[in-house]
């Protein structure tokens, strides 16, 4: 029994010694030292600071509208006979859009033309009549004049009495009056004076024709401008009344975009000034517009001014209703110290530029001024023209990091 207890003690002791030894060995040999990682030197590109003119724009949005829009409808109601256009059709000024049934008007016009012909024939007959009367009156006057001269000679010799001479003089006077009256009537007829009844009838007949001709012309509805049909509210067979029986034509050779700007901006604009315009719906197309009109009065509610921008559309690529983005000049500075926007890095609201000194990064806090989508003005005095700054590769750099300049 005593021997067994002793063996157990030795066994435990040996196990403990083995465990301790194994632990010491693990400490000395089991844990390997991690290798040191060398930080890779970053490649960077430098940019030499210059001065440039810098400006900023404010973008305003406006819907494109036709420079002209005309809605055409008949002056008189009537039944639509023909429709010659559809929405989207191009039309010329004076082109027929649709017509009204004019059969009754044409019949009336023919009747009135016949009446005019009758009246003119009557005038011609009267002219012939008075021409004949004047010729007859002239003969009578000549005879009376000759007779009076004879009677006067006889009276002077005492061959006839005063009564006989007076009778000859009266006959001459009557012949003269008759001749003058017929000559005046003939003159009035030939000149078309309405003081004569037959000429007045001609004038009235012509007036009736003119009035009916206007009605006939009005049955042919034409476009007053060249453009494109945008609305068609007319169909064959319907009776025109109000908006039923109308066509709208728009002139889209030029388009107008209307925007509102505050008073601080309106002073920077003048009529005729060119402004950049972008049309997203036309493939983000960039074109040039012209300031066409500046409202002289401020809108009291919005304290803004209405500006109309005119855009050439002679090629027809743009459509009325598209939205345009108009860039209006805002801030501007000439010969400013500027850097590319990609050279700036912002941390906690502070903007930094990075330079290289002795192949190491130097981080410089800077104050910025005017900025657009490409460049930014630098107002910090220590950043001058000719200073080399990093424009590429600085995003993962810290102050003091070693770098390799690749475009030096």
The yes-or-no verdict on residue 11 having pLDDT over 60 is no
Please give the Cα distance from 323 to 249 (Å, whole number): 21
- The C-alpha angle 311, 295, 370, rounded to 5 degrees, equals 70
**Mind giving me the DSSP string for 163-230?**
HHHHHHHHHHHHHHHHHHHHHHHHHHHHHT-TTSHHHHHHHHHHHHHHHHHHHHHHTEEE-SS-EEEE
More confident residue, 172 or 114: 172
Residue 126, CA distances (Å) to 114, 176, 177, 287 in order: 19, 21, 19, 74
Calculate what percentage of the chain has a pLDDT beyond 90.
Answer: 48
Confirm if 392 and 342 have CB atoms less than 8 A apart: yes
Residue 1 burial by CB count (10 A; 0-12/13-18/19+): exposed, middle or buried?
exposed
pLDDT at 4: 46
pLDDT at 22: 52
Q: 329-381: per-residue pLDDT in tens?
A: 888 899 999 999 999 999 999 999 999 988 898 999 999 999 998 999 999 98
The yes-or-no verdict on residue 248 having pLDDT over 80 is yes
The yes-or-no verdict on residue 299 having pLDDT over 80 is yes
Strand partners, 228: 90, 250
The total of other beta-carbon atoms located within 10 Å of residue 198's CB is 18
pLDDT at 27: 46
pLDDT at 128: 83
Q: 177-189: per-residue pLDDT in tens?
A: 998 998 888 888 7
What is the distance, to the nearest Å, from the Cα of residue 382 to the centroid of all Cα atoms in its chain?
51
The yes-or-no verdict on residue 31 having pLDDT over 80 is no
Rg (CA), the chain: 53
Sign of CA dihedral 132, 134, 140, 143: negative
What is the distance, to the nearest Å, from the Cα of residue 182 to the centroid of all Cα atoms in its chain?
67
* Residue 318 DSSP code: S
pLDDT at 59: 92
Please give the Cα distance from 41 to 403 (Å, whole number): 5
**Mind giving me the DSSP string for 125-164?**
HHHHHHHHHHHHHHHHHHHHHHHHHHHHHHHHHTSS-HHH
pLDDT at 120: 76
Please give the Cα distance from 298 to 284 (Å, whole number): 32
Tokens of residue 35, six digits:
């290798």
Q: What is the mean pLDDT of the chain?
A: 85
Please give the Cα distance from 163 to 157 (Å, whole number): 15
Q: 228-247: per-residue pLDDT in tens?
A: 999 999 999 999 876 678 99
pLDDT at 264: 85
Phi-psi region of 22 (alpha: psi -120 to 50; beta: other; left: phi over 0): alpha
Calculate what percentage of the chain has a pLDDT beyond 70.
Answer: 88
Confirm if 323 and 63 have CB atoms less than 8 A apart: yes
The yes-or-no verdict on residue 99 having pLDDT over 70 is yes
pLDDT at 19: 56
Tokens of residue 166, six digits:
């007076």
Q: 55-85: per-residue pLDDT in tens?
A: 888 999 999 999 999 999 998 888 899 999 9
Sign of CA dihedral 301, 304, 305, 307: negative
Confidence of residue 1 (pLDDT cuts 50, 70, 90): very low
Please give the Cα distance from 69 to 252 (Å, whole number): 9
- Per DSSP, the three-state class of 314 is coil
pLDDT at 24: 47
Q: What are the φ and ψ backbone dihedral angles of 400, each rounded to 5 degrees?
A: 95, -10
Q: 184-222: per-residue pLDDT in tens?
A: 888 887 776 655 566 677 778 788 888 878 787 888 899
**Average pLDDT of span 3-7:** 48
**Average pLDDT of span 46-57:** 91
Confidence of residue 7 (pLDDT cuts 50, 70, 90): low
Confirm if 262 and 108 have CB atoms less than 8 A apart: no
Q: 307-338: per-residue pLDDT in tens?
A: 999 999 998 899 999 999 999 988 889 999 99
Confidence of residue 30 (pLDDT cuts 50, 70, 90): very low
């Amino acid at each position: 029994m005593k021997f067994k207890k002793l063996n157990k003690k030795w066994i435990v002791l040996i196990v403990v010694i083995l465990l301790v030894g194994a632990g010491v060995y693990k400490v000395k040999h089991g844990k390997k030292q991690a290798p040191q990682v060398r930080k890779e030197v970053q490649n960077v590109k430098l940019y030499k600071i210059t001065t440039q003119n810098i400006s900023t724009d404010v973008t305003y949005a406006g819907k494109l509208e036709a420079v002209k829009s005309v809605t055409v409808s008949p002056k008189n109601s009537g039944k639509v006979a023909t429709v010659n256009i559809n929405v989207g059709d191009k039309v010329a000024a004076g082109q027929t859009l649709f017509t009204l049934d004019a059969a009754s008007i044409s019949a009336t016009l023919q009747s009135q033309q016949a009446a005019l012909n009758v009246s003119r024939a009557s005038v011609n007959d009267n002219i012939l009549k008075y021409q004949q009367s004047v010729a007859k009156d002239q003969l009578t006057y000549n005879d009376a004049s000759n007779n009076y001269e004879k009677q006067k000679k006889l009276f002077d010799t005492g061959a006839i009495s005063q009564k006989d001479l007076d009778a000859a003089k009266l006959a001459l006077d009557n012949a003269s009056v008759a001749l003058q009256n017929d000559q005046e009537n003939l003159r009035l007829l030939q000149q078309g004076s309405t003081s004569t009844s037959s000429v007045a009838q001609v004038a009235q007949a012509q007036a009736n024709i003119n009035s009916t001709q206007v009605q006939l012309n009005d049955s042919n509805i034409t476009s007053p401008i060249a453009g494109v049909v945008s609305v068609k509210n007319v169909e064959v067979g319907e009776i025109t009344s109000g908006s039923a029986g109308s066509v709208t034509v728009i002139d889209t050779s030029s388009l107008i975009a209307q925007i509102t700007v505050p008073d601080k901006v309106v002073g920077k604009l003048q009529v005729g000034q060119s402004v950049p315009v972008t049309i997203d719906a036309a493939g983000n197309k960039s074109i040039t517009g012209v300031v066409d009109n500046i409202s002289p009065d401020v809108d009291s509610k919005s304290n803004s001014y209405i500006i109309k921008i005119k855009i050439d559309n002679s090629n027809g690529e743009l459509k009325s209703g598209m939205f345009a983005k108009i860039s209006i000049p805002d801030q501007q500075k000439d010969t400013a110290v500027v850097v590319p926007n990609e050279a700036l890095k912002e941390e906690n609201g502070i903007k930094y530029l990075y330079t290289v000194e002795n192949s190491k990064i130097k981080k410089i806090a800077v104050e910025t001024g005017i900025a657009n989508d490409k460049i930014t003005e630098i107002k910090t005095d220590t950043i001058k023209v000719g200073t080399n700054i990093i424009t590429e590769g600085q995003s993962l750099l810290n102050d003091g990091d070693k770098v390799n300049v690749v475009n030096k």
